[in-house]
Structure 1
Amino acid sequence: MIVNVLQEELIEYAKTIGIDKIGFTSAAPFIELKNLLRRQQELNFQSGFEESDIEKRTEPTLLLEEAQSIIAIAIAYPSRMKNAPKGKRGERRGIFCRASWGMDYHTVLREKLALLEAFLQEKVPHAKMRSMVDTGELSDRAVAERAGIGWSAKNCSIITPEFGSYVYLGEMITNIPFAPDEPITDQCGDCTLCIDVCPTGAIVQAGQLNSNRCVAFLTQTKGFLPDEFRTKIGNRIYGCDTCQTVCPKNKGKLNWLHDSFKPDPEIAKPLLEPLLTISNKDFKAKFGYISGSWRGKKPIQRNAIIALAHFKEESALPKLIEVLQNDERPVIRGTAAWAIGKMGVVDAKEILQVALQKEQDPEVIIEIEKGLAFLAQK
């Protein structure tokens, strides 16, 4: 089959299976990205979640020896929630980032890529392919940029003209020599809103992110959250959208396109207090299908405790005391102690002093002392 005809057929087929954008690029090395990643490693700006081997991240032929092309796909997700519940005193709510609304995008995009693979295999029996979404070696954004899906913005997202930056990305390496698309010219202009409003200053400069300061990364860590960030995350319990929501290119991009990504408001904006004592079984049953559950319940619970302290939600005190006294995990006990002190509720000093007498974990003791220090300042 003539390749350009196959390419047109693949583009049309992609539309029928719910892929919003598809682009093509060569399997040539990503030279500029390689230099950038080396610099990121030197500065210790990487999160640790990504592939550590820079060569694998930038040399497609290391992943598929006969690689000639890379197919990039993008699927849009909602930027707003319909019928979003509002938190109030006694019923405070957390928020999952938009990329975690609805079905886990890894599952959805892998299914789409599997369909594309089957389509190509039928047309070209000798075709070789390797697909990946997010957790693969290649940089989804670098591939999408070179394949003309969108431009790489100052907030380190890919922005598409049609859907803004609210898109999931995936790619397929193949030995089929497709014609490459032209990259889209950067359209950020002089705007620096995303840099200016980043809660933790994680966007060091246009296109450079210190992942270790990024709220989206911090909410996924499992240890104690460093003190300087506890007042920055607000009621975010997974991820952060600030650098997207302020972007002028995202204005009016609602993207209510796919049923699989339409959020359940009670999942996307859950009540905080029930999260503190939810069982593993109930957590998996309720949140297991969204991407924000991948690290388990511990980071979510820790963030929920911090959010309750942010709101100074005194009705949560009984649950916080229960966690402080009974939870087996030092991070959760210690964060609860910090929150009780931060909230400055009645009897907080006595509660923390009793806990201090019983506690044996040195890190939890430090957190109890932080809570007592808050009370001493009042």
Structure 2
Amino acid sequence: MNLEGFQQELVAYASEIGIDKIGFASAEPFYNLRHQLARQQQLNYQSGFEEPDLDKRTRPELLLDEAVSIISIAIAYPSKMEDAPQGMRGARRGIFSRSSWGKDYHAALKERLTLLEAFIAVHFPEARMRSMVDTGELSDRAVAERAGIGWSAKNTSIITPEFGSYVYLGEMITNIPFRYSEPMEDQCGDCRLCIDVCPTGAIVEGGQLNAQRCISFLTQTKGFLPDEFRGVIGNRLYGCDTCQTVCPKNKRKANLIHAEFTPDPEIAKPLLEPLLTISNREFKERFGYVSGSWRGKKPIQRNAILALAHFKEKSAVPALIKLLMEDERPVIRGTAAWALGKIGMPEGFEALQTVLETEQDEEVKDEIQKGLAFFAEEMKG
């Protein structure tokens, strides 16, 4: 079989195993990307989750000897949830971003890439391959753009004509000289909705993101959330979809294609108050299969506390007081203190005054003072 014929067979096989788009790119260095990443580091816009070595991020030949091509794959995920439960007073709910609905995409894409590797190895025993998803050194988006999967949008997502930006990305570096796909032209035009509506101004300009201000990143941190972001996080427990939901290219892109990504509404939009007391074991059993659980329960619990404060949910006050008085984790105690102040119930005020006398952690003390300050402002008003 000639290479052209095999490439066509590979594309057909990819479709059979649930890959929605596949493209082929050169393994030449990503020179422009390196410049962008260096600038991002200079401005301290990186999240810290990335590979710090810019050469590894932009030179595929450092990751696989004799690298010639990169196969890029995309799998669509749903943007709509059927029978989504509605939160109400006394039963408030949080939300996981769409990329964390259903099965963890890291596992789903790795399974498909493993199948692709096996298929290639049968026909090309001399083939060398290295696959990665999200946590690999390469930029999934840069590879996808070069491979014609979609164009790189102003919100830094890859947008496909078929599925919008609701796609998971992965890639495989190989020594096989495939015929390369044609990159797509940018189709964002003059639209800047994603820039204008970003709740924190994280999209600095078209195609550049300050991850330190991005809610998606902030929901994954484990420390105290900076004060300026607490009022805009809303009921987000993990991730943020705002720059995607406002995008005109995502209209009518439901993508109800793969059953494994169909969300369990009680996981994707869980009740907030039960999250305050969930055990490690229960958290792993309930949420362990979704990508949003990768940082453990602490960030989710912190975000749940902030969400309850956002709703000013009075029914949560007893649980928040218990966290303030008994939880071993300073971030949880302190965030609970802040939330009690925002909710503004008298028993919360009394608890804050009581705990202030015994609390040893300075950061928690600061949060207690912030909580008490909310009560002082209310009394002035």
**Fold conserved (TM > 0.5)?**
yes
Structure 2 distance, partners of 1:289, 1:283, is: 10
- Which sits farther off after the overlay, 337-346 or 217-226? 337-346
The answer as to 2:313 corresponding to 1:277 is no
Which residues of 2 match residues 58-77 of structure 1 at below 5 A? 58-77=58-77
**Offset at residue 298 of structure 1 (A):** 0.2
User: Residues 228-279 of structure 1: CA distance to partner in whole angstroms, max 9, x if unpaired?
Assistant: 0000100001000000000000000000000000000000000000000100
Task: Say whether residues 1:134 and 2:121 are aligned partners.
Answer: no
Is 1:167 paired with 2:167?
yes
SS at match of 1:224: coil
Q: Distance in 2 between matches of 1:290 and 1:61?
A: 32
Distance apart, 1:348 and its partner CA: 2.3
**Deviation at 1:219?**
0.2
1:225-236 equivalences under 5 Å are 225-236=225-236
Rounded Cα–Cα distance in structure 2 between residues aligned with 1:355 and 1:88: 30
Structural mapping, 1:100-139, within 5 Å = 100-139=100-139
Q: In the aligned structure 2, how far is the partner of 1:4 from the partner of 1:157?
A: 31
SS in structure 2 of the partner of residue 270 of structure 1 = coil
CA distance in 2, matches of 1:285, 1:218: 24
Q: Secondary structure at the match of 2:357?
A: helix
CA deviation vs aligned residue, 1:56-92 (integer Å, no higher than 9, x gap): 0000000001110000000000001000000000000
Q: Deviations over 1:282-330 (max 9, x none)?
A: 0000000000000000000000000000000000011101111111000
Alignment of structure 1 residues 183-202 onto 2, 5 Å? 183-202=183-202
Q: CA deviation at 1:347?
A: 2.5
- How far off is 1:357 after superposition? 1.1
| Residue in structure 2 matched with residue 303 of structure 1 by the alignment | 303
Shift of 1:128: 0.3
Q: Counterparts of 1:14 and 1:347 in 2: how far apart (Å)?
A: 59
Q: Distance in 1 between matches of 2:130 and 2:6?
A: 18
Partner of 1:223: 223
Distance in 2 separating the partners of 1:8 and 1:361: 63
- Equivalent position of 2:328 in the other structure: 328
Structure 2 counterpart of 1:144? 144
- TM-score scaled by structure 2? 0.99
Query: CA offsets, 1:74-120, max 9 Å, x none?
Result: 00000010000000000000000000000000000000000000000
Q: Aligned equivalents of 1:245 and 1:132: distance in 2?
A: 27
- Checking the alignment, whether the CA contact within 8 Å between 2:321 and 2:348 is kept in structure 1 is no
In structure 2, what is the Cα distance between the partners aligned to 1:283 and 1:257? 28
1:367 equivalent in structure 2: 367
Cα distance in 1 for residues equivalent to 2:32 and 2:311: 44
Q: Any gaps of 5 or more consecutive residues in structure 1? A: none
Distance 2:321 2:277 in 1: 11
Aligned to 2:23: 23
Please give the alpha-carbon distance, in whole angstroms, between the structure 1 residues aligned to 2:89 and 2:349.
23
Q: Equivalents in 1 of 2:96, 2:348: separation in Å?
A: 30
Task: Report the identity percentage.
Answer: 72
CA distance in 2, matches of 1:310, 1:31: 44
1:258 maps to a residue whose letter is: H
- Tell me, yes or no, if the aligned pair for 2:92 and 2:271 is still in contact at 8 Å: yes
Counterpart amino acid of residue 333 in structure 1:
R
Tell me the residue number matched to 2:291: 291
Any residues of structure 2 matched to 1:26-105 within 5 Å, and which? 26-105=26-105
The Cα shift of 1:346 comes to: 2.4
User: Per the alignment, in what secondary structure is the counterpart of residue 347 of structure 1?
Assistant: helix
RMSD of aligned C-alpha atoms? Answer: 0.5
- Report deviation, 1:345: 1.2
Code of the aligned partner of 1:156: T
Counterpart-to-counterpart distance in 2, 1:276 and 1:323: 8
SS of residue matched to 1:225: coil
Runs of 4+ deviating beyond 3 Å: none
Is the counterpart of residue 345 in structure 1 residue 338 in structure 2? no
- For residues 350 and 13 of structure 2, the distance between their equivalents in structure 1, rounded to whole angstroms, comes to 66
Structure 2 gaps of 5+ residues are: none
Specify the alignment match of 1:268 in structure 2. 268
TM-aligned CA deviation for residue 358 of structure 1: 1.6
Give the secondary structure class of the aligned counterpart of 2:374.
Answer: helix
Letter in 2 for 1:352: L
Shift of 1:2: 1.4
